[in-house]
Chain A
Amino acid sequence: MLAEWGTLFLALALVLCLSILLLPLKYSHPNVHLFLQRATIAYSLCIFLALGCLMLAFLKYDFTLWSVYSNANADLPWWYRLGATWGHHEGSLLLWCALLSLWCAGVALFPRGLSQKTHRLVLSCLALLESGFLVFLLLTSSPFARFFPTDVVPAQTLTPILQDPGLMFHPPMLYLGYVGFAVGFAYAVSALIEGKLDSSWCRSLRVWVGLSWAFLTLGIVLGSWWAYRELGWGGWWFWDPVENASLMPWLCATALMHSLIVSEKQQAFKAWVVTLALLCFALSLLGTFLVRSGVLVSVHAFASDPSRGVFLLLFLSALWVSSMILFALRAHHLKSKHTFELLSRETFLLLNSVVILSLLATVVLGTVYPIILDSLHSDKISVGMPYYNAVFVPIALPLLLLMAIAPLLRWKMQSLSGLISKIGWPFCCAVIMTLIVAFYDSQSRALWAIASLFVAFFIIFATLLDLYQHLRKHALSLRRFAMILAHLGIAILVLGISINKSHSRERQVKMQVGQSVILANYRFTLERLSPIVTKTYHGTEALFRVDKVMCVESARAEVRHLGPDAAWMRRPSIQGCIHSVSQGSYLGSSAGTPIFQRLGEIRSINENFDITQSQITKTGIQMTVWRDLYIALGQKLDKNTWIVRVYYKPFVRWIWAGGILVFIGILLTFTTRRKSP
């Protein structure tokens, strides 16, 4: 019965959405507004009930449902079954609809200073979007489709790579961010139709877009962390088209949020804000299309058939084109009266938008180009890391510079001498810090490494100075603090990325029990291989012992850490010691003797999933704030020999820590109480 209830709830939600759309917008009886609000909350409730039905079906093993049959089996623990609710195309689309309706209900409940007319327009527009997705769900990918097996066959199971705690959090957070931009879209459409856009509109939009921006940030961070642990290649960002699909709206939302500040406070950039709000949702739709239609090969792409893609493409083209036409016809009504000088915070925020949009363009190009090329029947290519390193990084660095300077500027007009006196100290400190690092650490001397270290330090010093100045004047608002936190988060992220990139080490070796491998100044010894059999897989667990290697220079009896490129290492005695260590002889040479300090153990498991016939690696990671040691047990070569990949990943935790800080910063901006206009 659950499935029938679920379908019924979805149909009911669709009817409610359509009723909202069919009510004439001009009809201005006060009850109409009340109806819109209540109907929105009602359809939201219906969709969540449907989602609940699907979850129950998964929990209760209702194998007559195709989605349950093909994604769960009796041995899957309950929390993965819950996650499996959205671990496949149909379910993830239902989650998408549910989260969209959650935002709709939020907008219905909290008009936040919008006029009744605007509020009605926004709710109708959201109902239009929701009904589009509901039709898609019901027509092409119903999660409640029945399936009656003719004989007893072993059930399929959730793709092994999804059997991870990440599944519980990453998709809902990411989707919450993705679909939240629908609210921005609805706001933009309402502003265009009405031909006006005021401060309360901006404030209200800032909250909705900001919240989705925050969740998208968290979703991306969680996804990155999951990929790092699960894929077993030691990377935290792969420029996978689907990762790009989430980065594109994120970048656009970043530009939008910063422009909204100007619109709200200075009544400027109005048409620009509307453009960005439309673009933001257009990009999330593009992302959905790329992920859900199967035009791409990716870890995220579920098996799919073209009919789904056709529907999605029609839906998104209709939205794109109609919003573009609406914009072309109506945008001139949104007049920005404000003027500002060349050197002012407005200019810098405008520059910020421009640079972010160029960044966005590089990502869009990199993502869509292979598809365009393929559609012209020319070539199959894939765009990857080298392209983005060459194109993305040089644009991102100036953006970070702007980010350090802009918060220190005044609105409207800023004198050049004032600016120089403000950024003088942070600039000098950053230069000195960068020089110090580059002097002591030969691996940070590449141009890009120096540049990124410098901008990271510059942001840190500039924001700290800002913090200090506000504290001294007792004028630190929570909103300002939130901004400082988010900017510091970005700086930490950049530091993490830069150091991780320049100092990471990896080796892929054949190993047998008892053998060891040296990477950076760590020794990994394969101590034991033991078979593991569970209900869902059988596998092999490898136990590695980790030692820190140090060389003692006997002439000076001095113990120092064996940094890979430190100057003292070039001394012949120490080199001899290192050489002997890496050759597997631990006796040392006459002048230098290696010491091994036991750090602990790392376990990595190679899992063979019986049902899906697939093999994945559970990586073993030993982490500290400064570095991760990361081992992935690869393929078995023969009875005793395995391929092992070992990684040394310094500062990798900083990347996610920075992301989390950005998330907290964004959330904090909403805790400020609304000033009465």
Chain B
Amino acid sequence: MKTMLRLSPILLIFGLIAALWRGLYSNPKEIPSPLLNKLTPSFELPNLFNPQENLNNQLFKDKVTILNVWASWCAACVEEQMFIRTIAPSTSAQWIGFNYKDDRQNAMAWLNRYGNPYSAIAADTQGVVALDWGIYGTPETFVIDRKDRIRYKHIGPITFADWQKDFVPLLAKLNGEVD
């Protein structure tokens, strides 16, 4: 009996081990966005190709939108761009680019080289709007519904597996939603 009593702390140890085991398979860097299911933060940013023209939340009106955050200095974005380029034409949503803390010339050269799947690109040179959106790195991707609400946020480059698992069902659902 005494021995059994002495063995009891092992249960505690097993509990700790189980928690650590689960911890291994969850990504500590993945923080759910507090903006999920909220209206997009309002913004006013110049169009990358035409700095005189300002882009704002009107962009998202009545359309399902994928907002992709990228920069020409971001290595992972190149990899992602290769993938986006192949799927963008057949996507049932508009692709908007969000150029983050970048130089205009570099950004345009980058698009020339790796392709431009976006219907419009907002340039956030100072990274000020990015703060409102909770963007802290590139690449990041937001999915926005017709009513201007953020429905999903993806951190890191989108891979084919991510696309199949997270994006395709969501886009189908959003396109099916009636006003």
Contact = CB atoms under 8 A, between A and B. Distances in A.
Contact of A371 (B2, B14, B23, B75): B23
Contact of B13 (A289, A320, A371): A320
Nearest to B15: A372
B3 interface: yes
A375 B7 contact: no
A21 B100 CA distance: 58
A380 B31 contact: yes
Given A375-B22, A380-B31, A380-B32, A328 B6 contact: yes
A295 interface: yes
Q: What is the size category of the interface that chain A forms with chain B?
A: 20 to 34
Contacts of B74: 613
Interface residues of B, dominant DSSP: helix
A158 B17 CA distance: 33
A673 B124 CA distance: 70
Contacts of A514: none
Interface residues of B, number: 26
Interface string B16-36: 111111111110110110000
B73 interface: yes
A321 interface: yes
Contact of A325 (B7, B20, B28): B7
A324 B10 contact: yes
Interface in A270-324: 289, 293-297, 306, 309-310, 313, 317, 320-321, 324
Contact of B28 (A297, A310, A313, A332): A297
A372 B2 CA distance: 30
A296 B27 CA distance: 9
A374 B74 CA distance: 30
A329 interface: yes
A313 B7 contact: no
A324 B7 contact: yes
B37 to A, nearest CB: 17
Interface in A96-127: none
A328 B29 CA distance: 39
A295 B2 CA distance: 36
B9 interface: yes
A324 B16 CA distance: 14
Contact of A296 (B2, B9, B10, B28): B28
A376 B74 CA distance: 34
B24 to A, nearest CB: 4
A380 B32 CA distance: 8
B159 to A, nearest CB: 16
A295 B3 contact: no
Interface of B: 2-3, 6-7, 9-10, 13-14, 16-26, 28-29, 31-32, 73-75
20 contacts: A294-B28, A295-B20, A297-B29, A313-B20, A320-B13, A320-B17, A321-B13, A324-B7, A327-B6, A328-B6, A371-B23, A372-B23, A374-B23, A375-B19, A375-B22, A375-B23, A376-B19, A380-B31, A613-B73, A613-B75
Given A294-B28, A376-B22, 16 more contacts: A295-B23, A297-B28, A306-B25, A313-B21, A317-B17, A321-B10, A324-B7, A325-B7, A325-B10, A327-B6, A328-B7, A331-B6, A371-B19, A375-B20, A375-B23, A380-B32
